[in-house]
Structure 1
Amino acid sequence: MKHLRSSCSRSSWLRAGGIVGLAASLAAGIAGAAGAQVLPPSPDPTCTVPQQDFTGWFKSKPGLNQPVNPANSLGLDTSNNCNFYKWSAQMFLWLTSPDAGTLHDKRVLRSEAFYRLDQGNLIKQDGILARNLSLSATKFGPDGLPFVLDAKGHLREFVTVPDRAGLTASNALGAEGTAEIAAVRAGAGGKAEFLNAEGKPIQTFAPKVTAGMLPQQLGRLAGLAAPTTTSGAPGATSERRQIADALTAKKVLMKIATRTGPVFVEAGSGDIVTLSPGQAGDHGVLVSQNDAIVYYEVLVNDVYAWYLTGRKTPNGIAPTYDADDPATFGLFPTSQPDLTAIFDFAKKHGGPSSLADGNALAVEVKLAWVEAATLPDGGKGYITAQAEVPEYDRTTNPADWAPTGKTNRTQVALVGAHVVGSTNGHPEMVWATFEHQANAPLADYSYMSGGKETPVPSNPTGPWTFSASGPQTNYNAQLAQYDKANQHIVSTASPPVKIAPNDVLHQKAWGVASDGQPNQADKTPAIAANQIVSLNTDIRAKLSAVGAASDPRFNYLLMGATWTLGGARPTGPFPQGGNEIGTSMLANGTMETFAQGNDTKSTSGTNCFACHSSNPKETQAQASTSVSHIFGSTNPLKTSVESKEK
């Protein structure tokens, strides 16, 4: 049985650097030329949109390139999972809608209602300013550190040991000392054996994380230690030592560079940890089958921007945010009183007189783009934009792409999107993800048809944007990474080899693992997957019925959505006994490419909340703003009140 197969032909996140400018024009490509992928036939209609409701999604009437209203997040009926999925689908259609009130016929996500995140600052869009993208979709674990997957597919955060750094270690007698490490090799019992500059073993058995291995900006790591002083030491120094000790106790990994590539050693035990195939560390770069680099950007809506600003302004929106005090983190807006407080603050501080789409509540969006010229028919059938992208020298050293210092104006096409937003009763936010239908194949899965569980074997036959046609042996392997030090894109192989295109496979089709009960309502993986298949099928049928099959939005699929029971702090995917529900093993093939695990089971790989977890020092029942990786590190808007005071 075919599924998600492309019939087209081919033509010849954020925290990393590599900034490029995306110019003003967001335009729609003409759909259809990119080919049609096939959803499995006749899914049971377990999640559909009543015709009257679907009509109400649109500002005037359903049709080709017609604008859509945002979902009413304030009034979301949270009584069943399907309503969350419908919220997700409507929000994507709204974000990618043509916006009549925007300069040059841009889309809503390019309108003045959205701000782009640029190096910690919120930049209001006006249809003219350039937009900034990132070259890698660096993912961070629950403590804000980069992570890899070990051989069992488990998430393991790591610190990087600086070159020629001294490692603190405990010897067999329990005494501590510092030794200069020149090399690492596997010793007896899988323990790391450290060598000095003369190549002689150093008697160390339990390497420890040190304060010097921590990032300069602690961010979420600050939650591992109390900001107190000990022995007269400065508070900051004491805090970093406490954090380092806490990380050692948690047995995080230590990434140590060697002549034959990085070695990952477990802190506290000294065990060398084997990684899943294709794992290389942070700042992974995704490359399409036609050698196109994937670029990323993050946007937030006006509600999010003014809420953040109010929370970070003294005497603004209570409680005033303090990065060192989890009790002040607060919750994302979920109610009309929350929204009213944001309106009032914005009006008093030079903001807009109204927030037209305020009932959408707080929205955060992450987008993935590739150069449209590398896609079939120049990206027809995609949401597209004009961009200035950096030029790389790929021929002098095919294993090390060096920037030339030049940029090229080109058109980029949208290949993936995270749509995240707070809703009625859910401050942890609903995390939904979308991909273009031509991206990559799915692994085996099952859905419901005729009341029976129906298997869908994986069909890798392409062509695909992010996978070669036919079965591959190295799916989801990180083949290149962005080197922040010199802004190069380099091979992760040892020794380095020519950077090659990635082969991507969606290990958990529709965000559903093949084992366990996916969520509180769906007893089997097939029932859960069917809800997403059913909704995609229903929306496509309704768009086709009103002549909108050539609308580029038609070519994007909801891959799933996840949230927690009652908006509580995340505790783990439902199949593993946690409270994260919906399609609880969700990953986007363009953003979490290298974190999907090595099989279809829930014990391998990660989901959204594996990284977007709550601060460990929080005590309230519901999830706070700490689930967002950008809220704490983003600067507030400059308000008119601030300007007068300065």
Structure 2
Amino acid sequence: MRHGLSCLQAIPFLYAGLLVPLSDAQAQALPGDAKPSCVVDSPMFKSWFDAGTVSLDGTVGPADSLNFPDTPNCSFYQWSARMFLWLSSPTTPRFGGTGKVFESPAFFDVSPLDPSNHRTFIPHSSSPLSVASIRTPQHGPNDLPVTMSNTGALFEVVTPPAGPEGRPLVQDLSGKVSEVGRVEVDAGQSKANLFDPDDKKITAFPDAAAAQPASNAGGAQIGIAREFSVGGKTFLLDAAGNVVQTEVGQANTAGVLLSQNNSLVYYVTTVNDVFAYMVTGGANGGISPAPTQFPITQADLDKVSAFAKANQKAIAAPEVLAIELKTSWVDASSIADLSKYITMEATVPTFDMSDPKKWTVNGQKTVQLAMVGMHLVGSTKGHPEMIWATFEHADNVPVGAYTYHDTAGNVKTVAQASSGAWLFSAGNLNPTDAFNAMAAQFESENIIPAEGSSGVAPSNTIRWKSWGAVSGVSPNPIDGSDTASNTEIIAINNSVRSQLAAGDVRANYVFVGATWTIGGAAPTAFNQVGTNMLANSTMETYQQGTSAADKGSNCFSCHRSNQVGVSHVYRELNPLF
């Protein structure tokens, strides 16, 4: 069985016997009386299984993305649910290997960036793989780390180059380049003035035009903020020199998420064989002209299949088209009942924690991990921008208040939970408790310093947009109300989870939602549909805003294309051969 783990963006977790198993938590309860506005009927659900009937941990076949119905919204949610069940099914001879389908030889892990800013494919093998990187910044459309202001605005963060004395450099509007000797912020903490080492005011902040993002066509608008570290303090300034104020911990874009039992989280990026051979053929000339979009038609797929065949490679399930996954994991020893979790093994770093305010890597160890989240992204007929879906373990976090329609059509409200046995929040919460405030962040590949004065520690995490839609914020008016959207997601969860065999591990994961664009067009602020305020509490922890009313980020805030560049890793990958 392949138990490898190789991360695009990976975080280590805590060792040294400090992990305390959680109590046997009850899974997050979904309303059982939601209007069945999106379901998978029994004949359809049975047809998903290879055996034609539902069985405990039975193997599910993949969705046929080439013949995707493309009927909003339910067919998108059905596609998402089926693909999750397929990927987390036991593998079959069709895909090879042992373990889950996403662990099979039909998939490749993606390495962290190397010094040349490239990534490599890591074939799935029979032994655990070491994790080389421990980073988790969210990246924007320009591949820069993203942070959020306390008003909910998104910024990509640029670190100015250093001058001869090690201070940040800035160019004023006259073209003069100066080192920044100090930063002076006004009493309102809103405007900053920069001074050179001779304490002369730098007459104008750096060229505002050049500091704008390359594209603002889709998703939330993202500006550029420059990070100045001067005199032991760090300031984020926008293109006009305004101070970008952030919530506690969110100024640093390399935040670390810890469970309540001190297990840090690992992130793994994986792609399927269609994705891998498409990258390779496009890069080495084997597919000419190089593809500009992910495959959505038989003709697109035929080019990738022909290239694979010419190189003595086989594509296990060509009809699924291109798939990219990002999964999140915690140390299995922190979980009381592992039967409720999908698990795998990995070789991971251990830490010297003698200084509670700074952990340093001191070795490695092979351990078992438990999956807490999955982003599932795939191309389908009519959708080169890809469908963006996400799943979480039901015991991860509390969720914000939401509304839904019951079977009689009445609007019902579910209040924000205040108690529960959650992985990433305390068991008893007050309305005034702070959420999603990072308590640790990365200083380097091998060091984790505390974000605050109390040392590296867990904090309370919430999923503000419970099912990816918020009243007054989303979804787009063309896609209906947030109440109707929530009802669809709850209904398909109830439908799928209730039909799985008793004890099936996959029933412990909830479908949070999926988003796409109208007609597969490049994302704009007006064509994103489905649950287009989607966030996973373990992957967009610090980009959700500070309440359910904050717009925050969504998938298309950073993935702003219907070209291959919609995948950040696509353009960074070295070919397989």
The TM-score normalised by the length of structure 1 is 0.79
Alpha-carbon contact 1:332-1:362 (below 8 Å) kept: yes
- 2:194 corresponds to which residue? 194
**1:37 Cα deviation after fit:** 2.5
Unaligned runs of 5+ in 1: 1-12, 21-31, 215-219, 225-249, 321-328, 573-577, 615-622, 639-646
CA distance in 1, matches of 2:551, 2:248: 13
1:318 aligned partner, one-letter code: S
Change (3 A) 1:150 1:18: closer
CA distance in 2, matches of 1:370, 1:279: 22
Asked if residue 317 in structure 1 is aligned to residue 275 in structure 2, the reply is: no
- 1:613 corresponds to which residue? 560
Equivalent residue for 2:323, pick from 335, 339, 363: 363
Change (3 A) 1:461 1:260: farther
- 1:587 corresponds to which residue? 535
**1:518 Cα deviation after fit:** 1.4
- Number of residues paired by the alignment? 542
Change (3 A) 1:529 1:541: same
Equivalent residue for 1:511, pick from 468, 487, 500: 468
- 2:40 corresponds to which residue? 49
- 2:341 corresponds to which residue? 382
**1:104 Cα deviation after fit:** 6.6
- 2:294 corresponds to which residue? 332
- 2:370 corresponds to which residue? 413
- 2:66 corresponds to which residue? 74
Change (3 A) 1:126 1:188: closer
Q: Deviations over 1:392-444 (max 9, x none)?
A: 112x221111111x112211000000000000100000000000000001101
Q: Deviations over 1:590-617 (max 9, x none)?
A: 000000011223x520000101112xxx
Q: Deviations over 1:445-478 (max 9, x none)?
A: 0011020111110113111000112225220112
Alpha-carbon contact 1:361-1:421 (below 8 Å) kept: yes
- 2:83 corresponds to which residue? 91
**1:91 Cα deviation after fit:** 0.3
- 1:136 corresponds to which residue? 135
**1:208 Cα deviation after fit:** 4.4
CA distance in 2, matches of 1:166, 1:300: 38
- 1:553 corresponds to which residue? 506
SS at match of 1:637: coil
Change (3 A) 1:93 1:18: closer
Asked if residue 266 in structure 1 is aligned to residue 238 in structure 2, the reply is: yes
Asked if residue 256 in structure 1 is aligned to residue 213 in structure 2, the reply is: no
Change (3 A) 1:530 1:257: same
Change (3 A) 1:159 1:516: closer
CA distance in 2, matches of 1:43, 1:507: 20
- 2:218 corresponds to which residue? none
1:563 aligned partner, one-letter code: W
- 1:393 corresponds to which residue? 352
- 1:636 corresponds to which residue? 575
1:283 aligned partner, one-letter code: A
CA distance in 2, matches of 1:539, 1:400: 44
1:257 aligned partner, one-letter code: S
The RMSD of aligned alpha carbons is 2.5
**1:549 Cα deviation after fit:** 2.6
Asked if residue 150 in structure 1 is aligned to residue 165 in structure 2, the reply is: no
Q: Which moved more, 1:283-292 or 1:471-480?
A: 471-480
How do 1:107-256 residues align onto structure 2 when only pairs under 5 Å count?
Answer: 107-119=100-112, 120-128=119-127, 130=129, 132=131, 134-162=133-161, 164-170=166-172, 175-187=174-186, 190-197=190-197, 200=199, 202-208=201-207, 252-256=224-228
Q: Deviations over 1:165-188 (max 9, x none)?
A: 353343xxx534222223323037
Asked if residue 455 in structure 1 is aligned to residue 413 in structure 2, the reply is: yes
CA distance in 2, matches of 1:154, 1:175: 29
Percent identity, please.
37
CA distance in 2, matches of 1:370, 1:415: 7
Change (3 A) 1:258 1:403: same
- 1:7 corresponds to which residue? none
Change (3 A) 1:540 1:133: farther
Alpha-carbon contact 2:388-2:555 (below 8 Å) kept: yes
CA distance in 2, matches of 1:153, 1:430: 25
SS at match of 2:233: coil
Alpha-carbon contact 2:330-2:371 (below 8 Å) kept: yes
Asked if residue 446 in structure 1 is aligned to residue 403 in structure 2, the reply is: yes
Change (3 A) 1:187 1:140: same
Change (3 A) 1:136 1:503: farther
- 1:562 corresponds to which residue? 515
How do 1:462-501 residues align onto structure 2 when only pairs under 5 Å count?
Answer: 462-471=420-429, 473-484=433-444, 487-493=446-452, 496-501=453-458
**1:18 Cα deviation after fit:** 6.7
CA distance in 1, matches of 2:275, 2:317: 12
Q: Which moved more, 1:120-129 or 1:58-67?
A: 120-129
Q: Deviations over 1:182-206 (max 9, x none)?
A: 33230377321234557x4534331
Alpha-carbon contact 2:467-2:531 (below 8 Å) kept: yes
Alpha-carbon contact 1:112-1:126 (below 8 Å) kept: yes
Q: Which moved more, 1:85-94 or 1:474-483?
A: 474-483
Change (3 A) 1:131 1:549: farther
**1:111 Cα deviation after fit:** 0.5
CA distance in 2, matches of 1:188, 1:476: 27
Alpha-carbon contact 2:360-2:446 (below 8 Å) kept: yes
- 1:598 corresponds to which residue? 546
Alpha-carbon contact 1:116-1:131 (below 8 Å) kept: no
2:287 aligned partner, one-letter code: I
Asked if residue 295 in structure 1 is aligned to residue 252 in structure 2, the reply is: no
2:262 aligned partner, one-letter code: D
- 1:346 corresponds to which residue? 308
Q: Deviations over 1:44-77 (max 9, x none)?
A: 0000012111001001021101000011111111
- 1:106 corresponds to which residue? 99
1:187 aligned partner, one-letter code: D
2:121 aligned partner, one-letter code: L
Equivalent residue for 2:488, pick from 512, 518, 531: 531
- 2:393 corresponds to which residue? 436
Alpha-carbon contact 2:236-2:251 (below 8 Å) kept: no
